[in-house]
Chains A and B, each alone.
Chain A
Amino acid sequence: MDLEKLKRHFPWITLVVLTLLVGLMDPNFLRPHNLIQLAGDISTLFIMALGITFVIYIGGIDLSAQSVANMTTVLATISLPLFGVWAGVFCIVIGLGFGAVSGFVTTRLKVPSFIATLAVGGLALSVGQYASGQRALYMDATLRDQAFGWMIGTTAGIPHELIIAIILLLLAYFVQNRTTTGRALKAIGAGELAAVASGLKVDQYKIMAFAFSGMFAAIAGLLFSVKLAGGSPTLAEGFLLPAIVAVLVGGTPLTGGVGGVLNTAIGAMIVAVVRTSMLYLEIPATSQQIFFGVVLIAAIALTIDRSKMRIVK
């Protein structure tokens, strides 16, 4: 078996090895209850990563996801008393819109996606700051439970967040593998020029990928704000780096075309296990980003398809 074929199996092998290693340090870690808890805790981050996957899958990057999620926590908190359960729909549509703007700027104005999404992220951040008046806001507990109570809590020991994450994963998986949109995104990631020459409306599909990313970021933000019963423009701080790490460690390279949402699920679990192991090793939370930064660089260097990137600037 050659290295290229083996490479595809790296992510889950890494996951299993890491899990067992942490299990050696503390056998309690391997208890089903603990593992489910762990998966539940990573759900929000995973949902954000799920959206980013679509953009990385076509060879772009979305740096706005965290800011969109931040903004959503604020908007959800503010709009809950006004719209009730419709506040959720409102937030999702706003997220979709911000993503679509990134897509538009990238495809029509030809601004590279990392800059376009960085700028749109700045926009989202400001909206969040303005709407919140720079303060942390709190949701009314009764209103929240009425509208979004179903998002939190557990059924048969399984956290509802995890169930939501799994449903979204299945949906995303279906879109990726069974729909014309998913096929088009794959073609764009693997060979954009051939996709153009085959008559696909490439720009439209690209905008869609960014819109998906914005939408998933908004869902993540919504879930987060319901969970914490409040919103603030810095609530989801520290999500972006691990979310991108989850996508890349999962096996979707920055150059796109391979990998996909299932890979991101594995990547997110790797991130969860690594975080836990850092607790065992007593690494302070403030230092965790150092680790994720290093892992990010390593993951990109190992997974990138160099034939597609002759020149890196």
Chain B
Amino acid sequence: MFELQKVDKIFPGVHALKAVDFEIKRGEIVGLVGENGAGKSTLMKVIYGAYQHDGGQVFVDGKTVRFHNPRQAMDMGVGMVFQEQSLIPNLTVMENIFLGFEKQFVNFGVIDWKKMAEAARHQLKKVKLDISPSTTTSQLSFAQRQLVELAKVLTLEERVQGDLVILLDEPTSVLAKDEIKLLFELVRDLRSRASFIFVSHRLDEVIDLSDRIYVLKDGEVVDVVNADEADVDSIQREMVGRNINKEYYREEQQKPYDDTKVLLELESVGNSGKYRDISLKLHAGEVLCLVGTEGSGREAILRTIYGLQRPESGSVSIKGQALKGFSAKCGVEKGVAYVPRERKIEGIVGGMTVFENMTLSQMGNYSRAGVLDVRHERALAREWIEKLSIKASSENADCGNLSGGNQQKVVLAKWRSGGSDIILLDHPTRGLDIGAKEDVYDMVRDMSAAGIGIILVADTLEEAIGLSHTIAVVKDGEIQKWFDCKPGCKPSLYDLIHYMI
């Protein structure tokens, strides 16, 4: 009933979806899995109308359709339950459920609240949620909000002729075990009303709930498996593909670090609500990886080390000196560098040239009495463009127009040329294609060989295991477990996951 044929989606520089075929039948639950950047979210956005496909066709009940916006998709029965919830917290449950569709309750311009509450109760019954429709949404628990969101999508049932397709984007990521169980039961019950597309990182859950599973990798569907024939390991292999081999992460280049030289030390550092009692030592040449789920506190720890967030307790010392001031400026002066996850927002300044970006953190070195030595800056940029083989027309090219991988190289060049020796990498390979990822891995090894200490928050667990000397598993803001990652005796995915969840 809902089908994609050879759907393509192209962004500047990225071929995000390559001839994707996708089909969902009435009452079916289809799983969708893939690594970060494999194209899952792009595919979902095409399905629910947030993006328009550039090639191929979309069919609903055999008819070609083209959704220009999510509203049009909803009119054809396609609804999305958002991972970051789309409910407005200060509105009541019923207002949220019928947001944008209040017209049915309006008499002479006035909303008939009783009628709306009645209708909302009907929707809430579908998801077995026993709350008053006039509750303010912010008072609900996270799991309850998720159900309200689902109820909101289920209103399509009354509005739309034909069948429903509901997308569930990582619905379990913040739920407790018993809540997940309830949700799954509910979804199975609701199959009589709708088909579901279930997206999750947790493969066991996907196999548990779905009928069929689409495996996405680098924008292509690499396999479609029936859930009863599927197992976690084989899907994992397909998701990661050739990437899993040792060479990919340059493991043979991993040299032991210098454990006599401590670059950075954290002593029971804490920040209420974010992390507690974090102690760690980073040595010269070490790659230390913080592993954990989204929101486990990894990013907050990085931002504290860099000076963007002041810790409430504990001490941070860099090269034996305790840090007193906390600001990015202090961090930079002590040789700490930060490669942020949001490359385009925090990493580079779009609209400024390559050389301007490279010297942004170290203008003091390229100026006298506040007057810039532009010739010197350009020479530096040319040197690093050469060294890291950055693909840019010249040092005067606008950084915003480079590809993601080359932007990342500019960010790294900025810090390395400034002599930083503690480098914090936050998802350095996010959104990069494979070649660019490998370039980043090469650079990590180079830096490590040069005696630079690296703290890494990796995009995937494989990446974390492959690249690091040491792994700290962080859960709910605390370090749960340390792993030593010498080549040859690295921990497995399951060793880590056990402590993450």
- List A residues at the B interface (Cβ < 8 Å): 178-181, 183-184, 186-187, 190-191, 193-201, 257-258
Contacts and interface: CB of A to CB of B under 8 A. Distances in A.
Contacts of A193: 342, 345-346
B346 A194 contact: yes
A178 B373 CA distance: 8
B256 interface: no
Contacts of B88: none
Contacts of A187: 349, 352, 356, 360
Given A195-B360, A199-B361, A190 B367 contact: no
A179 B372 CA distance: 5
Contact of A180 (B340, B345, B367): B367
A251 B85 CA distance: 40
B214 interface: no
A260 to B, nearest CB: 12
Main secondary structure, interface of A, reads helix
Interface in B80-96: none
B340 to A, nearest CB: 6
A194 B343 CA distance: 9
A180 B338 contact: no
Interface stretch (B183-191, B282-290, B328-336): B328-336
B489 interface: no
Interface string B411-429: 0001000000000000000
B351 A258 contact: yes
Contacts of A198: 328, 332, 360-361, 414
Interface string B348-373: 11111000100011011001001110
A59 to B, nearest CB: 12
A179 B369 CA distance: 9
Contact of B352 (A181, A186, A196): A186
Contacts of A183: 356, 360, 363, 372
18 contacts: A178-B374, A179-B370, A180-B363, A180-B372, A186-B349, A186-B356, A187-B349, A190-B350, A190-B352, A193-B342, A194-B346, A194-B349, A196-B328, A197-B346, A198-B328, A198-B332, A198-B361, A199-B329
B351 A190 contact: yes
A178 B328 contact: no
B70 interface: no
Of listed A187, A194, A201, residue having the most chain B CB within 10 A:
A194
A33 B350 CA distance: 43
Contacts of A200: 328-329, 360-361
A199 B328 contact: yes
Interface residues of B, number: 30
A195 B329 contact: no
A258 B398 CA distance: 12
Interface in B431-462: none
Nearest to A188: B349
A180 B370 contact: yes
Contacts of A179: 367, 370-372
Given A197-B346, A197-B347, A199-B328, A181 B414 contact: no
Contacts of B414: 198
A134 to B, nearest CB: 43
Interface in B303-345: 306, 308, 327-329, 331-333, 338, 340, 342, 345
A180 B361 CA distance: 11
B329 A191 contact: no
A197 B340 contact: yes
A179 B329 CA distance: 19
A185 to B, nearest CB: 11
B372 A199 contact: no
- 5 nearest A-B residue pairs (beta carbon): A199-B332, A191-B349, A190-B351, A198-B361, A197-B346
Contacts of A191: 345, 348-352
A181 B348 contact: no
A201 B363 CA distance: 12
A184 B349 CA distance: 11
B371 A194 contact: no
Given A178-B371, A200-B360, 16 more contacts: A178-B372, A180-B364, A180-B367, A183-B356, A187-B352, A187-B356, A191-B348, A194-B360, A195-B349, A195-B360, A196-B308, A197-B308, A199-B332, A200-B328, A200-B361, A257-B351
Nearest to B347: A194
Nearest to B331: A199
A178 B352 CA distance: 14
Nearest to B352: A190
A51 B274 CA distance: 43
Nearest to A191: B349
Interface string B108-137: 000000000000000000000000000000
A197 B328 contact: yes
A228 B333 CA distance: 52
Contacts of B327: 199, 201
B331 A194 contact: no
A251 to B, nearest CB: 14
B357 to A, nearest CB: 8
B329 A197 contact: no
A184 B363 contact: yes
A4 B372 CA distance: 29
A228 to B, nearest CB: 36
Of listed A194, A196, A197, residue having the most chain B CB within 10 A:
A197
A193 B364 CA distance: 20
A140 to B, nearest CB: 40
Contacts of B342: 193
A262 to B, nearest CB: 17
Contacts of A196: 308, 328, 346
A200 B346 CA distance: 12
Contacts of A190: 349-352
A194 B350 CA distance: 9
A166 to B, nearest CB: 21
A199 B345 CA distance: 14
A179 B374 CA distance: 10
Nearest to A257: B351
